[in-house]
């Protein structure tokens, strides 16, 4: 799965020159921390299972008020004693934007494929890879309260998952947007019943 995530990142760079003439192409990259928060039934409260560095790359194809994109992420350090944390994944997504003055609402959805390693206590000490698939619906808005400042406020909900039921999550950000370049802080948390996966980092993008 890690090879697939890296391949998605390479595709982001290879297809850009051929499509940039007909569509707007947005390339973005992110680096920061990710983790896993699970409900400990014996204690009755959430417990953090660890924190790891991750890197992510993606590409959005933008035409009129619609966008379609792919992205992939990978853990940037060894799994070590945190096999519960998702070490790589990818997604395909789409959004529809409603154009206004300085506020751009959107609705959309995504399909996601994540992988992690679990210790299933084989005598040999092996780890069993677990794959999680889920689909979300997304809604929110991109707001520019000032010429260069942007604020993103959004929500996402896993409407289908092959592990457990989904719960409402968030997708937010704040930063500076100058012409076609943007850099800022991004926070995203995907929630399931008994488990939350937060991503937090610096997001950089450029639109061709």
Element (H, E) at 6: helix 2-14
In this predicted structure, the answer to whether residue 93 has a pLDDT above a threshold of 60 is yes
Q: What is the mean pLDDT of the chain?
A: 84
In DSSP terms, which residues pair with 47 in a beta bridge? 38
The answer, yes or no, to whether residue 76 has pLDDT greater than 80, is yes
Confidence of residue 113 (pLDDT cuts 50, 70, 90): very high
**CA 132, CA 128: separation in Å to the nearest integer?**
13
Mean pLDDT across 74-89: 84
- The pLDDT value recorded for residue 14 is 53
Global pTM value: 0.83
2-207 CATH, one of 3.10.20.600, 3.40.50.2020, 2.40.128.90, 3.30.300.180: 2.40.128.90
Contact (Cβ atoms closer than 8 angstroms) between residue 139 and residue 155 = yes
Per-domain boundaries in the chain:
2-207
Label residue 126 exposed, middle or buried (CB < 10 Å: 0-12, 13-18, 19+): exposed
């Amino acid at each position: 799965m890690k090879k697939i995530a890296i391949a998605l990142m390479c595709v982001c760079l290879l297809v850009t020159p051929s499509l940039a003439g007909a569509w707007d192409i947005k390339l973005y990259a992110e680096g920061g921390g990710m983790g896993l928060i699970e409900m400990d039934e014996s204690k009755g409260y959430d417990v953090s299972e660890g924190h790891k560095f991750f890197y992510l790359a993606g590409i959005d194809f933008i035409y009129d008020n619609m966008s379609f994109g792919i992205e992939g992420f990978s853990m940037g350090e060894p799994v070590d004693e945190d096999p519960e944390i998702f070490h790589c994944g990818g997604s395909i997504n789409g959004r529809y934007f409603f154009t206004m003055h300085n506020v751009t609402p959107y609705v959309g959805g995504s399909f996601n494929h994540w992988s992690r390693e679990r210790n299933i206590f084989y005598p040999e000490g092996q780890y069993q890879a677990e794959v999680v698939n889920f689909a979300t619906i997304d809604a929110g808005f991109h707001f520019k309260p000032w010429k260069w400042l942007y604020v993103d406020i959004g929500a996402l909900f896993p409407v289908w998952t092959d592990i457990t039921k989904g719960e409402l999550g968030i997708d937010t950000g704040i930063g500076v947007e100058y012409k076609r370049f943007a850099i800022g802080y991004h926070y995203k948390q995907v929630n399931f019943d008994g488990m939350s996966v937060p991503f937090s980092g610096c997001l950089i993008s450029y639109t061709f």
